[in-house]
Structure 1
Amino acid sequence: MSFMPELKCHGRLMGYARVSTPEQKLDLQIDCLNSAGCIRIFKDHGISGAKAKRPGLDDMLAALKRDDMVVVYKLDRLGRSVLHLSDLLVRFQREGIHFSSLSEGINTATPAGQLTFHLFSAVAEFQRQIIAENTAAGLHAARRRGTRLGRPRRLSEKQAIDAAHTITKTGRRREDVAKRLGVSRMTLDRAIRRVGATA
């Protein structure tokens, strides 16, 4: 990148660089971030953007203060998805942190750059609504097919009935029966109520 825009903010310029595989180099990104005036550069080397945990990114987020500016070489270096990127930018705006992407010419410290925050906020909200609608439609379809939703039950219907009979016939304590079945007393009680047995 031959031209580096002059970045100005009241806080610090904090760079972030990432490559997905160990064979890739960070040199280009680091050179550009240094040229832009970053006083500190956080790095994730050989870590895919799809990873939820990125030590370099986590360290940077923990170090940021109001009026700082996060600087990246390209947008896709920061977020692992459009939704993740949108969430980060919304977080930056909420915490008074500016953002710049050198390749795309984004700089939220400028009036025009503020539009970036609003656009990504709208994108994040739109994607969440789509995810919620798709999830609701999937659950509705599963219920119509008779699919049982949620975690699998710890005790089968037969186990619950047998346990209830054991408690009523032998007088064994519920805690002992639950322990023998490898569940808690609360789980046993729920299973017995579910099958309508008495104990």
Structure 2
Amino acid sequence: MKYGYARVSTTDQSLELQEEALRKAGYEIIRGEKVSGSSRQGRNKLDILLEFLRAGDYLVVSRIDRLARSVSDLQDIIRTLENKKVSLGKLS
């Protein structure tokens, strides 16, 4: 399965542009949230998505900074995905 993830940092920002870009790229299952990316704490939809993904799935984001705000956080997420044999990509 192919999944999309969208995130904005504040509740007054819109997820619409990211979600639209993901839909146009063919991703029907998109999880989005309005929460700061400074840490993984409180990013419940991302946590659920990471738990749900299975071997062979593909996770895509519009930009890497929508997934992680630090190299350390990105490394942790990539490790989780690699252990589950899930591919990660970004829209071009």
What is the TM-score of this pair, normalised by structure 2? 0.90
The residue identity in structure 2 corresponding to 1:28 is L
Indicate the structure whose relative CO is greater, using CA pairs within 8 Å and at least 6 residues apart: 2
3-state SS of the aligned residue for 1:24? coil
CA distance in structure 2 between the partners assigned to 1:35 and 1:99 by the alignment: 18
Aligned to 2:6: 17
Q: Offset of 1:80 from its aligned partner?
A: 3.1
Which structure carries more strand by proportion?
2
Kindly indicate whether the alpha-carbon contact (under 8 Å) linking 1:71 and 1:101 is maintained by their aligned counterparts in 2.
yes
SS in 1 for 2:5: strand
Question: 1:44-97, CA deviations, whole angstroms, 9 ceiling, x for partnerless residues?
Answer: 11x100132301101211211110001100000001311111111122122110
Aligned residue number for residue 49 of structure 2: 60
Q: Work out whether 1:101 is the aligned partner of 2:86.
A: no
SS in 2 for 1:76: helix
1:50 matched residue in structure 2? 38
Aligned equivalent of 1:144: none
State the superposition RMSD in angstroms: 1.2
- Structure 2, unmatched stretches of 5+, are none
Give 2:64's aligned residue.
Answer: 75
CA contact (8 A) 1:42 1:59 kept: no
Higher-helix-fraction structure: 1
Counterparts of 2:82 and 2:48, CA distance in 1: 19
SS across alignment from 1:43: strand
| Identical positions, percent | 37
Structure 1 runs not aligned, ≥5 long? 1-11, 106-199
Greater than 6 Å deviation, 4+ residue runs: none
Report the residue type matching 1:48 in the other structure: S
- Are the counterparts in 2 of residues 92 and 98 from structure 1 also a CA contact under 8 Å? yes
1:190 is aligned to: none
Q: Is the 8 A contact 1:15 1:72 kept in 2?
A: yes
